[in-house]
Amino acid sequence: MDATGGLEAWIRGPRLLLLLAGFALLIRLPFFFPAVIDWDESTFILMGQDLLDGHLPYTHLWDNKPPLLFGAFAMMIAAFDSIPGIRACGWLLVAGTGYLIFRLASGISGWSAGLAAALIGMFFMTVTGGQAVMSELLAAPPIMGGLLLLSRPGGAGRYFAAGLCFMLAALFRTNLAIVVVALCVYAFVTTRSWRYRDRFIWFAALAAGMILPLALLTIPYLATGQADLLFRSVVLAPLSDTGERPGIGATLWGFLRGGISGQSGLWFLAAIGAALAIRGWKRGPDAGVAGYVGVMAVASTLSVLATRAAHGHYLIQVVPPLAVFAGIAWQETARRSFRLVFLLLILVTSVMPLGDIAREYGNLIARAANGERLASGRAYQIAALLEAENARDKRVYLMTDHIVYWMLGTEPLAPIATHPSNIAKEGLLIFVEGRGATTETVLATLLATRPDYIVKEAETTWLEDKPAAASLLAGRLAEDYERIAIIGKAEVFRLVDASG
């Protein structure tokens, strides 16, 4: 038995799971402790807490993301009630996705392909803006689970489970509906049984699996007469022009200009693996699965471009299928020289993400050595300052670091202010504030409540394209507020009347 065969025999079952979980923990652990990595995560935490407080999503606080996402965060908060605990859930999501990637790649091209694909997938899911718990991480296990189920022979039960997984993924990340439709069409075209009765039963089961979670989610809104609010928030608002969408061509250029957010090495390896799969260099019993993976890779890429926003973490969605093909490339180019080149390619194109991991480990070790708390970030300092100011029972307007609402046990001044920058997206305002609402009028309404404290960046970049609103804010701060602290680049203002 050669070394690879011996390793394969030893790393099976629980040992494989421990290896995948251990690797995921290694690259994610230092990111458990920063207060804010991506402020979208902060919004999800606020929405999850609001659900725990007894409010249906969109009825009290508001964001234009699908509701199951907030339900997942509510469960994380109920279980752990801490930012490190929530980030630990992200670790488990990545490790679970890694295992599903392993199952797919190993079925196509063998054990080595599976292990390489899983490790590559977990790495790029983390470094592509996935250090926080993003919606893409929550959607990855069900979409990959659905792919695994759909791509293998089975009866109505397997199709039902696949449909259930697909809808769960779409209810975490709406644009994945494009991927779901593509996979279902491909399955319908390529299904081997041409007996119409069997095909009807299978795809009826697939549809039933999709409908079930959607129906369960809709019932509370129908019962309370708020189905229209659900539709506007989940369907119409995400499709609206928020003012930040440059077009598909510009979005593609934005990703390319940024080196595909550090994924260029992954795309290169995946292209090699896809070419090998197409040429049929490996035709195992599950080789047909490669077709499904290819469809997912193409559809995921198109779904990301359809968002018309070049946010790096959106590319997490394309990582799992690309990782499967990268694993195939690793397996099929077995010469050590090729594999060394592949490793160097990944390392060179991932210098910045690797530097981020090393830097966070350095910060973590330094805090531990100095006896400091491991949790870090200016949000904790802002929360401590406002706590000292007895701000829990006062009006606070957070234009940055809005996780501080959760730390203080308070809430935003208005639904549209749940995510600070939403007021600058006038395409969204119609769904919350009504027709005719503008950034300036909404900001004026918020400031008219005379918040006792306002926290903002020294340069509020999301108001740069709204000069009237920016001028209104600057004028109100100059007239009615005093700056009491600068924490990092955040400024804390106190209403003059409230100072004594």
- Whether residue 183 sits in one domain with residue 97: yes
In a domain, 2, yes or no: no
In a domain, 365, yes or no: no
In a domain, 398, yes or no: yes
User: Is 143 in contact with 125 (CB distance < 8 Å)?
Assistant: no
| Domain end (from 356, 389, 416) | 356
In a domain, 413, yes or no: yes
Distance CA 416, CA 44 (A): 14
For residue range 385-399, what is the model confidence (pLDDT) as tens digits? 999 999 999 999 999
Distance CA 363, CA 351 (A): 18
Q: Which two tokens stand for residue 372?
A: 């400091």
Counting the structural domains of the chain, the total is 2
Ordered alpha helix ranges (H), 173-263 = 177-190, 196-223, 227-231, 237-239, 248-257, 259-262
Provide the b/e sequence for 315-343 (b: ≥16 CB within 10 Å): bbbbbbbbbbbbbbbbbbbeeeeebeebe
Domain encompassing residue 428: 378-499
Q: Which residues of the chain have pLDDT under 50?
A: 1, 499-500
- Whether residue 400 sits in one domain with residue 334: no
Q: Residue 3: what are its φ and ψ, rounded to 5°? A: -60, -40
| Domain end (from 304, 326, 356) | 356
- Whether residue 224 sits in one domain with residue 96: yes
- Whether residue 460 sits in one domain with residue 337: no
- Whether residue 113 sits in one domain with residue 38: yes
- Whether residue 407 sits in one domain with residue 330: no
- Spell out where 358-449 has E strands: 396-398
In a domain, 370, yes or no: no
User: Is 303 in contact with 178 (CB distance < 8 Å)?
Assistant: yes
Length in residues, the chain: 500
453-457 and 481-487: which strand pairing?
unpaired
User: Is 430 in contact with 240 (CB distance < 8 Å)?
Assistant: yes
- Whether residue 405 sits in one domain with residue 315: no
Distance CA 293, CA 290 (A): 5
Give the list of residues 6+ apart from residue 39 with CB closer than 8 angstroms, or none: 400, 401, 402, 403, 419, 420
Cα dihedral sign, 106-111-113-119:
positive
- Whether residue 218 sits in one domain with residue 187: yes
User: Is 455 in contact with 484 (CB distance < 8 Å)?
Assistant: no
Closest listed residue to residue 173, CA positions, set 53, 313, 51: 313
Distances (CA, A) of 465 to 240, 273, 445, 462: 18, 44, 19, 7
In a domain, 341, yes or no: yes
- Structure confidence at residue 189 (pLDDT): 84
In a domain, 371, yes or no: no
Distance CA 8, CA 15 (A): 10
| Domain end (from 291, 322, 356) | 356
This prediction's pTM: 0.92
453-457 and 490-495: which strand pairing?
antiparallel
User: Is 316 in contact with 90 (CB distance < 8 Å)?
Assistant: no
453-457 and 396-398: which strand pairing?
parallel
- Whether residue 167 sits in one domain with residue 87: yes
Give the burial class of 245: count Cβ atoms within 10 A of its Cβ; 0-12 exposed, 13-18 middle, 19 or more buried. Answer: middle
Distances (CA, A) of 182 to 50, 208, 327: 35, 18, 23
User: Is 419 in contact with 43 (CB distance < 8 Å)?
Assistant: yes
In a domain, 391, yes or no: yes
- Whether residue 439 sits in one domain with residue 484: yes
| 87 half-sphere exposure, CB direction, 13 A CA radius | 23
- Whether residue 347 sits in one domain with residue 422: no
- Whether residue 334 sits in one domain with residue 208: yes
- Structure confidence at residue 90 (pLDDT): 98
